[in-house]
Chains A and B, each alone.
Chain A
């Protein structure tokens, strides 16, 4: 096995007396789609936000490509090639879809001072158009994102995370609130992106069919700890996981 892209060791985070994450360790390989499942309150989002610099962990280490990134801010993590989506929609409603994609990567183009004199699209127009086509949202490319349907905004939201070609993308419930017909579409898109960009994804999701179909490996979290890590087939066959979470 090659060197891991992301290595999380002994991660802990407590809110007062409640230990939300109690010593979580896992690794994500380059090009891997890594799923995280578990019941509500199992610590998935706290773990996610700790990795993403949204909250500071109490203990543990997080390494990206062998470099310590523990406690770095979301801004610094983005600069190091970590992208993310949020559980709820986070598009810029008053900008067009195309501008949403451009703004998602413009800070990676040149210096801040240079960007003051750069063209409006920061030279990212063609790249944004390619992603717009890949996500099949060409017909709404020049509409304001806030005027789109929930499903269309969800696609824009996900596309934004890929604009800067991050090495690692963390997707927080990409199927939340999305109608079943679009769930398959999102899965296909993520598989395409995984192949074409060789990026690694971490996906938190409650939709088991989606996770089992998409992910190479899955981590099951219960009460802030790791119950199991394995391939979808191994997780499906794990009696402890079946009893505690998946059921029969």
Chain B
């Protein structure tokens, strides 16, 4: 069996078995982590597989959250709000992809960052719609139900988020194994060659943004009902940078990179709370060390070990060949 699938199944078994033994805060925290896994899976597609630098992902996360919250207030079901959040973000993501057709690298990052700021300002200033800095309390509308089952309790909602994560992971897995996945990788590695082979750089760039945005929108929708109170702060540029960090720390272009990266971004600061006031300093220092030691992310460790082993074997083979030549002469 493929090692990646084996790790996936083992991880899933743990995620199914452990939470009933956790306290409420623990359950909340791993639900929060899973929401970020979904959001960063989308960003990993945009950044890691298609090679587009986006610092606007939190805007889609926020758009998804506000979509279901505003609709919930209007009495519209989460089950209509969720697909609307995904489709809405997909369409806006397509629009955000257009700058990527003209500019790349840091310039694209700034363009997307500007988009995030603009969206965040709308969330903060349009009080009539979003509640502005006072936020929107949606706890009164309750969490959604599923096939007659209540998801009101934290554990039930956790399993729902876990199910959504598994389904979305499966869809992304299938997408990346389809010809689209190869086209995204080709686009990232060498857009000029890709285009000369008939790969539409324009279409795949837009799709990479749009699908990534849709994942963030779904994550945002799940987030809204997890925290049940939303306000603009979690959707500011800082969160976009944090999401980008999660993708990089986990390993850009590695399928399970966002799982590890989001754990570092969401769970590690919690585990470091023993350091009290120093915990953010410790977290920041760890990230610096990690980036210096593993610029390709945590999941690059097996590849690095393999490369070292191959270099050792090649060196030994050369030494043997040199010895053989020496013996003959």
| Residues in A lying within 8 Å of B, measured CB to CB | 52, 73-75, 78-79, 83-84, 86, 90-95, 99, 102-109, 112, 115-120, 122, 160, 164
Please determine whether B183 and A106 come into contact, CB atoms closer than 8 angstroms: yes
| Residues in B lying within 8 Å of A, measured CB to CB | 175, 177-183, 185-186, 189-190, 192-193, 195-201, 203, 253
Please determine whether B196 and A92 come into contact, CB atoms closer than 8 angstroms: no
Determine the chain A residues whose CB is within 8 A of the CB of B199 once the complex forms: 75, 103, 107
Determine the chain A residues whose CB is within 8 A of the CB of B181 once the complex forms: 120
Please determine whether B179 and A92 come into contact, CB atoms closer than 8 angstroms: no
CA distance A117 to B193 in the complex (A): 24
Determine the chain B residues whose CB is within 8 A of the CB of A116 once the complex forms: 175, 178-180
Name 30 A/B residue pairs within 8 A (Cβ), A-sorted.
A75-B195, A75-B196, A75-B201, A78-B197, A78-B198, A79-B198, A90-B190, A91-B193, A92-B190, A92-B193, A94-B185, A94-B253, A95-B189, A99-B182, A102-B179, A103-B179, A103-B182, A103-B185, A103-B197, A106-B183, A107-B197, A107-B198, A107-B200, A112-B200, A112-B203, A116-B178, A116-B180, A120-B177, A160-B197, A164-B198
Known contacts A93-B189, A106-B182, A115-B180, then 17 further A-B pairs from the complex at CB < 8 Å, ordered by chain A residue? A52-B196, A86-B192, A90-B192, A95-B182, A99-B182, A102-B182, A103-B197, A105-B197, A106-B183, A107-B183, A112-B203, A115-B178, A117-B178, A118-B178, A122-B179, A164-B197, A164-B198
Which of A78, A94, A119, A122 is within 8 Å of B196, CB to CB? A78
For B175, B189, B198, B253, which residue has the most chain A Cβ atoms within 10 angstroms? B198
Please determine whether B198 and A75 come into contact, CB atoms closer than 8 angstroms: yes
Determine the chain A residues whose CB is within 8 A of the CB of B182 once the complex forms: 95, 99, 102-103, 106, 120
Which of B178, B185, B200, B253 is within 8 Å of A75, CB to CB? B200
CA distance A115 to B203 in the complex (A): 13
Determine the chain A residues whose CB is within 8 A of the CB of B253 once the complex forms: 94
Determine the chain B residues whose CB is within 8 A of the CB of A94 once the complex forms: 185, 189, 253
Determine the chain B residues whose CB is within 8 A of the CB of A90 once the complex forms: 190, 192-193
Please determine whether B195 and A73 come into contact, CB atoms closer than 8 angstroms: yes
Please determine whether A92 and B180 come into contact, CB atoms closer than 8 angstroms: no
Min CB distance, B159 to chain A, in Å? 29
For A94, A103, A106, which residue has the most chain B Cβ atoms within 10 angstroms? A103
Residue in A closest to B196 when the chains form the complex, CB atoms: A74
- Knowing A120-B177, A122-B179 touch, does A95 contact B197 (C-beta < 8 A)? no
Please determine whether B189 and A92 come into contact, CB atoms closer than 8 angstroms: yes
Determine the chain A residues whose CB is within 8 A of the CB of B185 once the complex forms: 92, 94-95, 103
Which of B195, B197, B203 is within 8 Å of A104, CB to CB? B197
Please determine whether A109 and B190 come into contact, CB atoms closer than 8 angstroms: no
Please determine whether B186 and A120 come into contact, CB atoms closer than 8 angstroms: no
CA distance A99 to B184 in the complex (A): 13
Determine the chain B residues whose CB is within 8 A of the CB of A106 once the complex forms: 179, 182-183
Min CB distance, A47 to chain B, in Å? 17
CA distance A120 to B185 in the complex (A): 13
Please determine whether B179 and A115 come into contact, CB atoms closer than 8 angstroms: yes
For A78, A107, A108, A115, which residue has the most chain B Cβ atoms within 10 angstroms? A107
Determine the chain A residues whose CB is within 8 A of the CB of B179 once the complex forms: 102-103, 106-107, 109, 115-116, 118, 120, 122
CA distance A79 to B175 in the complex (A): 24
CA distance A102 to B175 in the complex (A): 16
What are the 6 A-B residue pairs with the smallest beta carbon separation, nearest first?
A107-B198, A78-B198, A90-B193, A115-B179, A103-B182, A106-B179
CA distance A48 to B193 in the complex (A): 15
CA distance A92 to B180 in the complex (A): 15
Min CB distance, B257 to chain A, in Å? 14
CA distance A15 to B179 in the complex (A): 39
Please determine whether B198 and A108 come into contact, CB atoms closer than 8 angstroms: yes
Determine the chain B residues whose CB is within 8 A of the CB of A122 once the complex forms: 179
Min CB distance, B206 to chain A, in Å? 11
Min CB distance, A125 to chain B, in Å? 12
CA distance A152 to B81 in the complex (A): 53
CA distance A74 to B192 in the complex (A): 9
Determine the chain A residues whose CB is within 8 A of the CB of B183 once the complex forms: 103, 106-107, 115
CA distance A107 to B194 in the complex (A): 10
Residue in B closest to A102 when the chains form the complex, CB atoms: B182
Min CB distance, B173 to chain A, in Å? 11
Min CB distance, A15 to chain B, in Å? 19
For A73, A102, A106, which residue has the most chain B Cβ atoms within 10 angstroms? A106
CA distance A105 to B179 in the complex (A): 10
Min CB distance, B179 to chain A, in Å? 4
Determine the chain B residues whose CB is within 8 A of the CB of A117 once the complex forms: 178
Min CB distance, B305 to chain A, in Å? 15
Determine the chain B residues whose CB is within 8 A of the CB of A104 once the complex forms: 197
Determine the chain B residues whose CB is within 8 A of the CB of A74 once the complex forms: 192, 195-196
Determine the chain B residues whose CB is within 8 A of the CB of A75 once the complex forms: 195-196, 198-201
Determine the chain A residues whose CB is within 8 A of the CB of B178 once the complex forms: 115-120
Min CB distance, B134 to chain A, in Å? 43
Please determine whether A103 and B195 come into contact, CB atoms closer than 8 angstroms: no
